[in-house]
Structure 1
Amino acid sequence: MNSLRHRSTLLAAASTAVLALSLTACQDDADAKPATGTTASAAADAARGQATGSTPTTGAAGSKGSDGAAGASESTGSAGATGSSDSAGASGSGTAGEQASAAAPACTAKDVRITAATQGGPPYTHLVLTAKNTSGHTCRLPGFPHVQFLESHKQDVPAVGRSRPATPVVLHAGEPAYAAVKLSDGGTDEDNEPVSAFSVTLEGDSTVIAVTAPGSGGIAVDPAKALTGYWTPELRNGADDF
Structure 2
Amino acid sequence: MRTFRSRTTLLAATGAAVFALSLTGCGGGDSDTKSAGSTGSERTVSVGGAKADRSTADGSTADGSTADGSSGQAAKGGAGAKATVAAGGSGAAAAAPACTTKDVSISAARHGGPPYTHIVLTAKNTSGHSCEMTGFPEIQFLESHKQNVPAVAKSKPTSPVVLKAGAPAYALVKVSDGGVDEKNEPVSGFSVTLQGGGGMAAVTAPGSGGIAVDPAKALTGFWTYELRNGADDF
What residue number does 2:223 align with?
231
Q: Aligned residue for 1:129?
A: 121
Counterpart position of 1:180: 172
- Once the two structures are TM-superposed, the CA of residue 172 in structure 1 deviates from its matched residue by 0.2
Is residue 202 of structure 2 the alignment partner of residue 202 of structure 1? no
TM-score (norm 2): 0.58
Larger radius of gyration: 1
The 8 Å contact of residues 126 and 183 in structure 1, kept in 2 or not, is answered as: yes
Q: How far, CA to CA, are the matches of 2:179 and 2:230 in structure 1?
A: 17
| Stretches of structure 1 lacking an aligned partner (at least 5 in a row) | 1-95
Contact kept? 1:181, 1:227, Cα under 8 Å:
yes
Any residues of structure 2 matched to 1:96-115 within 5 Å, and which? Answer: 103-115=95-107
Q: 1:101, 1:170 within 8 Å by CA — same for their partners in 2? A: no
Match of 2:141 among 149, 152, 161: 149
CA distance in structure 1 between the aligned counterparts of 2:166 and 2:215, rounded to whole angstroms: 33
Q: Cα distance 1:186–1:211, how it changes in 2: closer, same or farther (>3 A)?
A: same
**Alignment-mate amino acid for residue 177 of structure 2:** D
Sort the Cα spacing of 1:149 and 1:113 in 2 relative to 1 into closer, same or farther, 3 A: same
- The equivalences for 1:1-242 within 5 A come to 103-121=95-113, 124-205=116-197, 207-236=199-228, 240-242=232-234
Matched to 1:185, the amino acid is: D
Count matched residues: 145
Mapped partners of 2:115, 2:92: distance in 1:
38
Structure with a larger share of its residues in helix: 1
Per the alignment, in what secondary structure is the counterpart of residue 159 of structure 1? coil
Shift of residue 205 of structure 1?
Answer: 2.0
Aligned-partner Cα distance in 2 for 1:186–1:215? 16
Unmatched 5+ stretches in structure 2: 1-87
Q: Distance in 2 between matches of 1:209 and 1:193?
A: 21
For the 8 Å contact 1:146–1:202, the answer to whether it is kept is: yes
CA contact (8 A) 1:181 1:238 kept: no
Q: Summarize deviations over 1:16-57 as a string: whole Å, max 9, x none.
A: xxxxxxxxxxxxxxxxxxxxxxxxxxxxxxxxxxxxxxxxxx
The worse-fitting range, judged by mean Cα deviation, of 187-196 and 118-127 is 118-127
> What SS does structure 2 have at the residue aligned with 1:224?
coil
User: Distance between the aligned counterparts of 1:103 and 1:154, measured in 2?
Assistant: 33
SS of structure 2 residue aligned to 1:199: strand
Q: In structure 1, how many angstroms separate the alpha carbons of the residues matched to 2:224 and 2:163? A: 10
- CA distance 1:233–1:101, shift in 2 (3 Å): farther
User: Structure 1-normalised TM-score?
Assistant: 0.56
